[in-house]
A and B are shown apart, each in its own frame.
Chain A
Amino acid sequence: MEVGGQVRDLTIVGSYQDITNGGKTAKSVLPTQGNDVMWYVVGVALAPGTDAAATAQAYGDQLAPAKVHDIEQWRAQTLRPIARQMTVTAAISAVVAVALVGLMTALFTRMILARDAGPIAVQRALGADDGGLRAQYVTRTVLVLALGVVVGAVAAATLGEAMFNLMFEGLYGGMEALGRGTSRIDFAVDPLLTYVLLPAALLGSVSLVTAASARSLSDARISALTTD
């Protein structure tokens, strides 16, 4: 690296996570001549109770051409586009997951109904009501779903962050970066979304799809049963 006209060998002894800069960044503190410096960043800590926006405005007026930002504003400017993208990505994954669960439920229900065609035909012949039989299948898949949601939520809450960070490290750093601890993204869990809305969406998708697929059990007829 060239610093102040001099080539210097720098050894990277540590890095930190920086999602705006390809995953990680390292910083060094070096003496320089003032002319080559592109910009200075000066952090200002305000005393508690100070009006940040008003202070920023006042400094900005006094220190032009320096740009003075409230840290909140700065954060919004640098991170908002990424945050927005991540929100969209998360929303799309959620929708796709619910749709996939629905699709798998439909296929699974069809398979189970095909397997149970005999017993269903017999029960219908004896006088079992189609709605009642359908309800049995809906209950069964909903129970499985409930179990899955509980296991999934617990796994996400305990292993989720670690897995996500591992994935992130692999994504940016390749295999050798795995487990180095470069990525330390903490999940900001929205309890309403995570533990209420998403399970409710899954529940709705699964029960509707099962009920719809199970309509075909009305086709199971004793007259179509082949004798052993």
Chain B
Amino acid sequence: MTTSTPVLDARGLTKAFDGTTVLHGVDLQVHDGELVAVMGPSGSGKSTLLHTISGMDTMTGGTVSVAGQDLGSLSQKQLARLRLTTMGFVFQHGHLLTNLCLLDNVVLPAYLACLAPREELNRRALALMERMGVAGLATRDVSEASGGQLQRIGICRALINEPTIVLGDEPTGALDSTAAAEVLDILGEINAEGTTVVLVTHDATVAARADRVLYMVDGRIVADRQQGRCAAVDLERRHGGVAAWLTELQPRSAVLGPV
């Protein structure tokens, strides 16, 4: 798995906002089929990392390539196209469009990509929504669904163009533990089917399901634990909880704050 060209390859990635450097030369390779969790204290640059590796935000320095395409060499239009067709996004607050019904929200990226006629897109969207257990909500407005349901709609939207990589910024951050577990199950299934998944999270139970956990502090990756999912679960059992397992990461960095 690790010998293939990475789906995501960031080297020396830096990002500064108005002269304040937020990412300090991040190196990150994510391989096909991995489920990666990115953790770290608030303000450590996790969201900024997601935004720059996906080309939503411009990087200040370094190189990033996704699915073999060097982001720096692409025009704005090509970059948007790459994001549309190879990446799926799930946000903490859903970020669904309130002027569209839920079905249209799911269809939106496919519609923007103009890949198939509308009926075909609707069929594909409904099949996805069926799978996520939210097909009954197709004609509803954003205001007429629960947070957990909206998040599942968001996942459907992320998957509609069959992306190679799904990026999530705290996809369970606004959910209670039951809804969060359901959403994680779904993301786990998607990953099991071969889609690479990168999740930014504060939630240790999310990290426990990942087969690789990155820990960021002040714009640097200070820990990178790569191990089988079973190993993570084992560790959890042995140490009586994920929090304890995570403290194992701490000696690697002197500046770690409370999680």
Contacts and interface: CB of A to CB of B under 8 A. Distances in A.
Contacts of B91: 222
B124 interface: no
B13 interface: no
Nearest to B163: A127
Interface residues of B, number: 29
A221 B56 contact: yes
Interface string B89-116: 1011101111100000000110011000
Contacts of B196: none
Contacts of B96: 122
Nearest to B84: A127
A225 interface: yes
B229 interface: no
Interface residues of A, number: 20
B97 A122 contact: yes
A128 B56 contact: no
Main secondary structure of the interface of B (DSSP, over half): helix
B112 A125 contact: no
A225 B95 contact: yes
Contacts of A218: 76
B48 A119 contact: no
Q: Which residue of B47, B48, B57 has the most chain A CB atoms within 10 A of its CB atom?
A: B57
A122 B91 CA distance: 10
Nearest to A130: B76
B169 to A, nearest CB: 9
A129 B92 CA distance: 23
A227 B97 contact: no
A124 interface: yes
A123 B112 contact: yes
Interface of B: 47-48, 51, 54, 56-57, 76-77, 80-85, 87, 89, 91-93, 95-99, 108-109, 112-113, 157
5 contacts: A124-B80, A126-B83, A126-B112, A223-B51, A228-B93
Interface of A: 118-119, 122-132, 218, 221-223, 225, 227-228
Chain A to chain B: the 9 pairs with minimum beta-carbon distance, closest first: A127-B84, A127-B83, A122-B95, A129-B80, A127-B80, A125-B56, A128-B112, A119-B97, A223-B51
